[in-house]
């Protein structure tokens, strides 16, 4: 079974609108961390936001927020007020207990249209 599933290969959004990128995960651990990264065409992975499994509130970082639904095992990224520079690949990743490395999903390509 896939540990991280991103079901949207590609998404389009109009500039200044909000967009939600989906991520579901599979783990039997009680303690884990969820991450979102942005990968522009240059290739570098840019850290956006983190959510711990025991965090009571949804994480927010500027225009990025995470809609964390633990019972449904989903950690969707919400980007508000999209900008042209948000066009990129977005990856969801998870770190499980006892493993420092990350497991990544297959990514979602977001295109922001003017």
Partner 1 sequence: DGGITQSPKYLFRKEGQNVTLSCEQNLNHDAMYWYRQDPGQGLRLIYYSQIVNDFQKGDIAEGYSVSREKKESFPLTVTSAQKNPTAFYLCASSIRTSGRKDTQYFGPGTRLTVL
Question: Does the protein bind partner 1 through residue 106 (CB under 8 A)?
Answer: yes
Q: Which stretch binds partner 1 (CB under 8 A): 15-23, 65-73, 80-88, 100-108?
A: 100-108
Question: Does the protein bind partner 1 through residue 4 (CB under 8 A)?
Answer: yes
In the complex, the smallest distance separating the C-beta of residue 13 from partner 1, rounded to whole angstroms, is 20
| Angstrom distances, CA of residue 9 to CA of 89, 108, 110 | 9, 5, 9
Judged by CB under 8 A, the chain residues 27 through 86 that form the site for partner 1 are 31-33, 35, 37, 42-47, 50, 52-54
In the complex, the smallest distance separating the C-beta of residue 18 from partner 1, rounded to whole angstroms, is 24
Q: Are strands 24-25 and 4-5 parallel, antiparallel or unpaired?
A: antiparallel
Question: Does the protein bind partner 1 through residue 104 (CB under 8 A)?
Answer: yes
| Angstrom distances, CA of residue 71 to CA of 11, 30, 35, 68, 91 | 26, 11, 18, 9, 21
Please tell me the distance from the alpha carbon of residue 63 to that of residue 81, in angstroms, as a whole number.
7
Q: Among 113, 81, 91, 85, which residue's Cα sits nearest to residue 12?
A: 113
Q: List residues binding partner 1 (CB under 8 A).
A: 4, 31-33, 35, 37, 42-47, 50, 52-54, 91, 93, 95, 100-107
């Amino acid at each position: 079974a896939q540990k991280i599933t991103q079901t949207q290969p590609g998404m389009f959004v109009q500039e200044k609108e909000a967009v939600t990128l989906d991520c579901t995960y599979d783990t039997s651990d009680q303690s884990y961390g969820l991450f979102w990264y942005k990968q522009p065409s240059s290739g570098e992975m840019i850290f956006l936001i983190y959510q711990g499994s025991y965090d009571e509130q949804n994480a927010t970082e500027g225009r990025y927020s995470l809609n964390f639904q633990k019972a449904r095992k989903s950690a969707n990224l919400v980007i508000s007020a999209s900008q042209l520079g948000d066009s990129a690949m977005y990856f969801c990743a998870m770190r499980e207990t006892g493993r420092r490395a990350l497991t990544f999903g297959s990514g979602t390509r977001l295109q922001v249209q003017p």
